[in-house]
């Protein structure tokens, strides 16, 4: 007999039919009622056993966490709390679980404890919901771009370039640790390495993505990226996933429109397809907030926060305008910002971004035209504007409530001479990126793109507060378990 998933039974409710269900025991009450979950839904299925007819040895092995199969008839539930249940005629134990030594218990576990037992946390209702939502969001992103004629480009994980120019990269090498070959200058001789040159794990697929866009028109990447940044925070990971579209014949305005459409699309998809899981996560968040002081609690529930993004058109303003707002804000004047905004050129922090979204505009915000000094070499340089103290670039960041920046992008500098000059200013060797400069030498066109950190998006939509809780196997300083 074929197994039927619990999600399908709940959806179709084929009452009166014989079914086979398999899953893990979440509870066993009165030696009669099994709460069974198979991961296909957050809802448990009640399986009723006749303890007088059931083999006592089998009954004794039905413990919290055990893997079992139950065969029986699906009926309308006689009790409260569920519409349907299975009256079991047969129960098979696939895997025992000793509650005396099982790290998880049928009670509330702290997120910190579950982080320490990340190999088992999928089995909890919270993390099962998070990873079902994560799957749905990944599918929605692919669907969004596919339906708009984009091509999914797989950019390399091992590269010889540093797209961000930050230098915080993981080295890839086959050279020995002891007796590393050196050249005459005493430097590591990478010509003896596997790739005959220095290589690292990618920090971004953008530069390679631009190459694809210059022929295919509209492309996007969705893959792992790596940053060797020693940041032990709730917002940083050493390994995370990025979505990076690149669009030919597009300017900054087109870029903002695409990013806003994409964010609203995937949030709407989650609300329509993950309602039960989002409700579970919202309830968890409400309980968590009760332990916080009133002034630290969120003004919006999880679902309200998601609706906030859907129901409000994003406010668009320049960095220069934002600095004026922040400089004259009460928190800045009263010294309540951890990082005071002193004037133009300030690199905005999360607290500044959240003030603009949550307090000043009460809408999602897109900031544009940042100072060139604090942005990457590949961003298109703006013409000087009256009232703007220094050179700016056609960059844009999208700011969300509770999280700050969620998307960063720009129109790319397509003018060869301007790009080379900017690379020289930032001491980026042109010969190392000759392949990138070729896209400006031969058939260059205006183009734009952005990057969305997938975990930041999952964090926002699930209401989780630590980015390590929205990726299955988090990598961060001092941790590379599993």
Assess if CATH 3.10.129.10 describes domain 123-168+203-469. no
Instruction: Write out the two tokens for 391.
Output: 């050179």
pLDDT at 442: 97
Is pLDDT at 65 greater than 60 in this prediction? yes
Is pLDDT at 253 greater than 90 in this prediction? yes
pLDDT at 166: 56
DSSP 421-481: HHHHHTT--GGGGHHHHHHHHSS---EEEEEEEHHHHHHHHHT-S-GGGSSSS--BTTB--
pLDDT at 299: 80
What's the average model confidence in pLDDT over 48-67? 95
Is pLDDT at 200 greater than 60 in this prediction? yes
Residue-wise pLDDT tens digits, 270-307 = 999 999 999 999 999 999 888 888 877 788 899 999 99
Q: Give the residues across from 182 on adjacent strands.
A: 188
Query: What does pLDDT average to over the chain?
Result: 95
Q: Which CATH number fits domain 6-102: 3.90.1170.50, 1.10.730.10, 3.40.50.720, 2.40.50.140?
A: 2.40.50.140
pLDDT band at 52 (very low <50, low <70, confident <90, very high): very high
**Number of CB atoms found within 10 A of residue 469's CB:** 21
Residue-wise pLDDT tens digits, 303-325 = 999 999 999 999 999 999 999 99
Q: What percent of the chain has pLDDT over 70?
A: 99
Is pLDDT at 191 greater than 80 in this prediction? yes
Domain range summary for the chain, segments of one domain joined by +: 6-102, 123-168+203-469
Q: How far is CA 169 from the centre of its chain?
A: 20
Residue-wise pLDDT tens digits, 395-444 = 999 999 988 999 999 999 999 999 999 999 999 989 989 999 999 999 99
Residue 172: which of 158, 191, 152 has the closest Cα?
Answer: 158
pTM across the whole model: 0.94
pLDDT at 163: 67
pLDDT band at 167 (very low <50, low <70, confident <90, very high): low
């Amino acid at each position: 007999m074929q197994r039927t998933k619990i999600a399908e039974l709940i959806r179709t409710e084929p009452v009166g039919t014989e079914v086979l269900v398999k899953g893990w025991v979440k509870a066993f009450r009165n030696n009669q009622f099994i709460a069974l979950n198979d991961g296909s839904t957050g809802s448990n299925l009640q399986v009723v056993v006749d303890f007088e007819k059931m083999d006592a040895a089998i009954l004794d092995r039905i413990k919290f966490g055990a893997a079992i199969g139950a065969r029986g008839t699906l009926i309308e539930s006689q009790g409260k709390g569920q519409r349907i249940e299975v009256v079991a005629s047969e129960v098979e134990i696939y895997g025992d679980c000793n509650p005396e030594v099982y790290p998880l218990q049928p009670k509330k576990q702290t997120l910190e404890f579950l982080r320490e037992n990340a190999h088992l946390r999928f089995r909890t209702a919270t993390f099962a919901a998070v990873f079902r939502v994560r799957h749905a969001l990944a599918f929605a992103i692919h669907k969004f771009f596919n339906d708009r004629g984009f091509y999914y480009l797989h950019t390399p994980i091992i590269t010889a370039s540093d797209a961000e120019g930050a230098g915080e990269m993981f080295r890839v090498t086959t050279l020995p640790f002891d007796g590393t070959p050196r050249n005459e200058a005493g430097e590591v001789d990478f010509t003896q390495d596997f790739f005959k040159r220095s290589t690292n794990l990618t920090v971004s697929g953008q530069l390679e993505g631009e190459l694809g866009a210059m022929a295919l028109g509209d492309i996007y990447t969705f893959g792992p990226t790596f940053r060797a940044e020693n940041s032990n925070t709730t917002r940083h990971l050493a390994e995370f996933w990025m979505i990076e579209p690149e669009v030919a014949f597009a300017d900054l305005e087109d870029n903002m429109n695409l990013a806003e459409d994409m964010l609203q699309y995937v949030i709407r998809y989650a609300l329509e397809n993950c309602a039960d899981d989002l409700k579970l996560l919202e309830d968890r968040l409400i309980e968590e907030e009760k332990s916080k002081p009133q002034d630290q609690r969120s003004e919006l529930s999880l679902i309200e926060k998601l609706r906030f993004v859907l129901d409000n058109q994003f406010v668009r303003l320049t960095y220069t305008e934002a600095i004026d707002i922040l400089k004259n804000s009460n928190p800045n004047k009263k010294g309540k910002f951890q990082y005071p905004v002193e004037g133009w050129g300030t690199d905005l922090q999360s607290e500044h971004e959240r003030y603009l979204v949550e307090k000043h505009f009460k809408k999602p915000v897109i900031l544009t035209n940042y100072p060139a000094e604090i942005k990457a070499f590949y961003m298109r340089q703006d013409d000087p504007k009256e009232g703007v103290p220094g050179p700016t670039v056609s960059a844009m960041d999208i700011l969300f409530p509770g999280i700050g920046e969620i998307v960063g992008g720009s129109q790319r500098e397509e003018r060869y001479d301007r790009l080379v000059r900017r690379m020289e200013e930032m001491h980026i060797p042109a010969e190392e990126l000759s392949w990138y400069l070729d896209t400006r030498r031969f058939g260059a066109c205006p183009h734009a793109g952005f990057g969305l950190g997938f975990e930041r998006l999952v964090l926002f939509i699930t209401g989780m507060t630590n980015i390590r809780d929205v990726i299955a196997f988090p990598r961060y300083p001092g941790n590379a378990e599993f």
